[in-house]
Structure 1
Amino acid sequence: MPEPYIDPTCTALLVIDMQKGFCDPESQMEKAGIGTENQRAILPAVLRLVELARERGLPVLWSQQIHYPEDVTRRRRRIPSHIDKQHWAPCLRGTWEVDFVDEVAGAIRPEDLIVEKHRASVFFETTLDTKLRMLGIEQIIISGCNTDFCVETTIRDGYYRDMDLIVVRDCVAGPRRRFHEDTLAKVETYFGAVVTLEELPNVIMPRVQAQEGALAEARP
């Protein structure tokens, strides 16, 4: 078993896009034949992960994807966007698809931070980076959907900002299993660490140990 390497004094949990547009069987994603079953399947594990984060005193952040029907930037493209290629547009502003799934909505607390985004990465032109730095965050535990797109793009952007990234294997999902596994392999090879929810508590340092370590580093 590896030594604990997650410092709870500088770690946050980020839950990416657990919304009806990506998880609901009545969503456009499901009707387009892409599928939402895998995303729904991780809901119980994600909720347990949130509970664990709260038990360990970690800040919890949620991203919320919102697409604009009148977004003209995609019309300028000569090559079709991912939305055009798949012939569906999830989580359009003003629709129920932007809402968090009911189980998630019930788990969000007033002190949690919700980051609204309009592109795949939670970092792209949002307040996430500023909020993390204000909280003193250096490590991010990653969960949510979809693994191969919004999750992976966020991981890459976090890595380029010198964050430690920890992906919880059974708390991320996407409709294409092969793409999902490919992303996890890239994380293990390049961008961070991959653990299961069962393994995660064992790699989080006790808070007292982490605080003592920080004090030792601060001594001249």
Structure 2
Amino acid sequence: MPLSAKLDPRDVGLLVVDMQNGFCHPEGSRGKAFGADAVRRPREIIPNVISTIDLAHRLDIPVWFTQQVHYGNDVTRARRRIPSHLERRGVKLELCRRGTWDAELLDEMKAVREDRDEVVVKHRSSAFFQTTLECELRMRAVQVLVVTGTTTSFCVDSTIRDAYARDFDVVVPAECVADSDDAAHAATLASIERFHGVVTDLAGLTEALDS
């Protein structure tokens, strides 16, 4: 899936969404609640995400990792009257609680993260919601945001929609995002391609940046 437009690395930023133990590790909250199959797809993309990070580092493209963090005493969530998507499935997760191993980045992400990379702590699905991400992107003159990570139909999708609303160009290498639901993953990629950005693959992204 080649990109029709060539990309200037000076305009580009890379976002790695929620590649954390709670979402991706078999011993994390999601894996324990739903079984190993629930984290199979997120784990499969780890080498591809690392390749994208390596590409960004080689081309001096700034990298942001998001880290979802939840508070046990979050009264704003407790005030909700409509059950959450997890509660409707009869599941209560202690997902990515502040200060826990569950909330930490995967060891594979820690191994490739460099001092120049940023970590954006977020408390809701979108990486833009009440965080400093937009300000940091503007300060680094980022116009094109390459989005990778998990979960395609929730946190990745929410982030991409917010990026589009802020007039960033969005590029998604398809083999670098993952979901526990294949149908939701495919539907979200189709929606991104239709409305919010461009879906490509790692080879297409590399060609667009290297030329």
Tell me if structure 1 keeps the 8 A contact 2:21–2:106.
Answer: yes
> What residue number does 1:26 align with?
27
Tell me if structure 1 keeps the 8 A contact 2:15–2:148.
Answer: yes
> What residue number does 1:213 align with?
none
Tell me if structure 2 keeps the 8 A contact 1:4–1:204.
Answer: no
Give me the whole-angstrom Cα distance separating, in 2, the residues matched to 1:78 and 1:43.
37
Alignment of 1:75-114 (within 5 A): 75-85=78-88, 86-114=91-119
Q: Greater shift after overlay, 81-90 or 24-33? A: 81-90
What secondary structure is seen at the aligned counterpart in 1 of 2:34? Answer: coil
What secondary structure is seen at the aligned counterpart in 2 of 1:166? Answer: strand
What secondary structure is seen at the aligned counterpart in 1 of 2:81? Answer: coil
Tell me if structure 1 keeps the 8 A contact 2:152–2:178.
Answer: yes
What secondary structure is seen at the aligned counterpart in 1 of 2:174? Answer: strand
What secondary structure is seen at the aligned counterpart in 2 of 1:32? Answer: helix
**Residue type of the partner of 2:164?**
Y
Give me the whole-angstrom Cα distance separating, in 1, the residues matched to 2:65 and 2:21.
14
**Residue type of the partner of 1:155?**
I
**Residue type of the partner of 1:175?**
S
Structural RMSD (CA): 1.4
> What residue number does 1:210 align with?
none
Tell me if structure 1 keeps the 8 A contact 2:149–2:156.
Answer: yes
> What residue number does 2:72 align with?
69
Deviation per residue, 1:14-68 (Å, 9 max, x gap): 0001000001101121122161111011001110111111122211111000011
Q: TM-score, normalised by structure 2?
A: 0.93
Give the Å deviation of 1:200.
Answer: 1.2
**Residue type of the partner of 1:140?**
L
Deviation per residue, 1:142-189 (Å, 9 max, x gap): 000011100000000000000000001000001111111111000100
Give the Å deviation of 1:87.
Answer: 2.3
> What residue number does 1:202 align with?
207
Identity of aligned residues (%): 41
Aligned residues: 206
Could you tell me which runs of 5 or more consecutive residues in structure 2 were left unpaired when the two chains were aligned: none
* Residue 192 (structure 1) aligned with residue 205 (structure 2): no
**Residue type of the partner of 1:40?**
R
Alignment of 1:139-178 (within 5 A): 139-178=144-183
Give me the whole-angstrom Cα distance separating, in 2, the residues matched to 1:2 and 1:76.
45
Q: Is the alpha carbon distance of 1:2 and 1:30 closer, same or farther for their aligned partners in structure 2, counting shifts above 3 Å?
A: closer
Give the Å deviation of 1:2.
Answer: 4.7
> What residue number does 1:217 align with?
none
Alignment of 1:48-63 (within 5 A): 48-63=51-66
Larger Rg: 1
Give the Å deviation of 1:198.
Answer: 1.6
Tell me if structure 2 keeps the 8 A contact 1:5–1:204.
Answer: yes
